Structure 1
Amino acid sequence: MRIAIAEDSAILRDGLTALLHRRGHEVVVAVDNGTELLAAVEEQVAAGTPCDVAVLDVRMPPTFTDEGLRAALELRARHPEHGVLLFSQYVETRFATELLRGDARAIGYLLKDRVADVADFTDALERIAAGQTVLDPEVLSQLLRSSPERAALERLTSREQEVLELMALGRTNFAIAKALYLSAGAVEKNISSIFAKLDLPTDDAAHRRVLAVVRYLQR
């Protein structure tokens, strides 16, 4: 296989590269961020030698939040057939849900601490390259336990979550703006985004505000 790796831990990145090389696979690029991985994949595609699978950590520079997921989603948007494996230390159900929301073929999500055998890891890569979906059992279990309502809340940005928390405390838009040092327009924009992400009805703003708070309290 031809493999691209994006992993900010130099030790793990170099270790994966060496292990895959020893098993006859070619690591065409090994970088520490999603931006460079995307650029390298595009170069390979342009040269007519596309990679089979891209392995990405979820949290990478510069913010260490969801860079790997964003790169994976962008990669799949550009090349829907390209294999993608999220290789993370944690179960991130929101990330898994976003990645699997479209075509789930050639997609995998494995937990670093649960891969005990290198052969299992390479087998997973080969299955993804062949178009299969590979999920760690723990990832699958948590996805099944994650309700649609909770998944919707997890789609909110950190700022939107702050706004919703203050809404749940009964704060007005003016009070929210003052507490978070935002303009009135910014607060309204965040609230509109919250309503949209929670799929709330559009007919009554006051009613939607109550429903949003109820969703928050039931999380």
Structure 2
Amino acid sequence: MRIILAEDSALLRQGLTMVLGALGHSVLAEAEDAPTLLTAVEAAMAGDGVDAVITDVRMPPTHTSDGLKAALQLRETYPGLPIVVLSQYIATAYARELFARSAAGLGYLLKDRVGDIEEFARALETVVAGGTVIDPDVVQHLLGGTSSGQAPGVLPGTAASTSGADAPAPSSCPGAGNGGGASARQLGQATRPVGGKLARLSPRELEILRLMAQGRSNAEIEAELFISPATVAKHVGNIFDKLDLPADTGNRRVRAVLAFLEG
């Protein structure tokens, strides 16, 4: 793949470049701020193009959400351009804003996830293929796993944010199979109430939709939950029906994930 990378930390930028090179990809340009990212993509598009953009959320010049804003601007200018946004924090507001218009070809990952090269590679490939990837820890935070003494919407082992929308990411890089500290099965037993159309879903259907939001295929869901292909297909069909996504609705899987984010 031909990739443009934006990250203000020189050390992390170098590390990401090495990881991408080890995966057989080519980094066309590196940017340390949002304006440089926009210029680099414009230059690449005027030439042979670019297969994907990887950008940090918080970068200069304001060190707030400049990277996210650049990603949204790039998607407006180049619809369908695959973009993976990296964040140091579990910022559900950023995730919702990123996926508000279209989820196809977009990924939102915590930086710790890059430490698992195999998982990062799979996420990148999914996004470039037009899929949607949301970090498992962000997915858990969106549904608000709770425990005794734990503020609603905050993952065990993380500090509560004053805004409720931005929590520090776990310090370790959890494996793909358990989604970070707690399995999807465990999370299904202790989540905050969900509203809107999501309230129509059974706990098992919410569990499966959560895995869909993580970019899991039906086959991967089967393996994760130890259920048959027919059972997964039935649950996915029920999810589509309960979210009012008939067969003639374009890209129902992506729309279901968007409903999950908005719920």
TM range, smaller chain: 0.5 to 0.7
Question: What's 2:216 paired with?
Answer: none
Amino acid at match of 2:22: R
Check conservation: 1:97, 1:143, Cα contact below 8 A: no
Q: Deviations over 1:164-215 (max 9, x none)?
A: xxxxxxxxxxxxxxxxxxxxxxxxxxxxxxxxxxxxxxxxxxxxxxxxxxxx
Retained in 1: the 8 A contact 2:113–2:120?
no
User: Residues 154, 80 of structure 1: CA spacing in aligned structure 2 closer, same or farther, 3 A cutoff?
Assistant: farther
TM-score (norm 1): 0.64
Distance, in Å, in 2 between the alignment partners of 1:18 and 1:116 is: 12
Distance 2:71 2:2 in 1: 17
1:1-219 to structure 2, matched below 5 A, reads: 1-47=1-47, 49-145=48-144
Q: Is the 8 A contact 1:4 1:30 kept in 2?
A: yes
Cα separation, 2, equivalents of 1:43 and 1:52: 13
When you count helix as a share of all residues, which structure comes out higher?
Answer: 1
Q: How far is the alpha carbon of 1:23 from its aligned partner?
A: 2.2
Q: Which amino acid aligns with 1:17?
A: T
State the percentage of identical aligned residues: 47
* Contact 2:95-2:108 within 8 A present in 1 as well: yes
Give the secondary structure class of the aligned counterpart of 2:133.
Answer: strand
- Report the CA distance between 1:52 and its aligned residue: 1.4
One-letter code aligned to 1:38 = L
Aligned-residue CA RMSD (Å): 2.0
Asked if 2 retains the 8 angstrom alpha-carbon contact of 1:94 and 1:154, the reply is no
Give deviations 1:80-123, integer Å, cap 9, x for gaps. 11011111110111111111011100100111124442121122
AA paired with 1:30?
Answer: E
Unaligned runs of 5+ in 1: 148-152, 156-219
**Deviation string, structure 1 residues 129-170 (Cα, Å, up to 9, x no partner):** 0000011111112233499xxxxx999xxxxxxxxxxxxxxx
Amino acid at match of 2:127: I
Amino acid at match of 1:10: A
Larger gyration radius, structure 1 or structure 2: 1
Give distance in 1, aligned partners of 2:164 and 2:81.
26
Q: Which amino acid aligns with 1:85?
A: V
Cα offset for 1:36? 0.8
SS in 1 for 2:90: coil
1:49-72 per-position Cα deviation (integer Å, ceiling 9, x unaligned): 221111111111122110011001
1:91 alignment partner, SS class: strand
5+ long unaligned stretches in structure 2: 145-151, 154-162, 166-263
Preserved CA contact (<8 Å) 1:85 1:125: yes
Query: Given the superposition, is the C-alpha separation of residues 82 and 92 from structure 1 closer, same or farther in structure 2, using an over 3 Å criterion?
Result: same
Judge conservation of contact 2:110–2:135 (CA < 8 Å) in 1.
yes
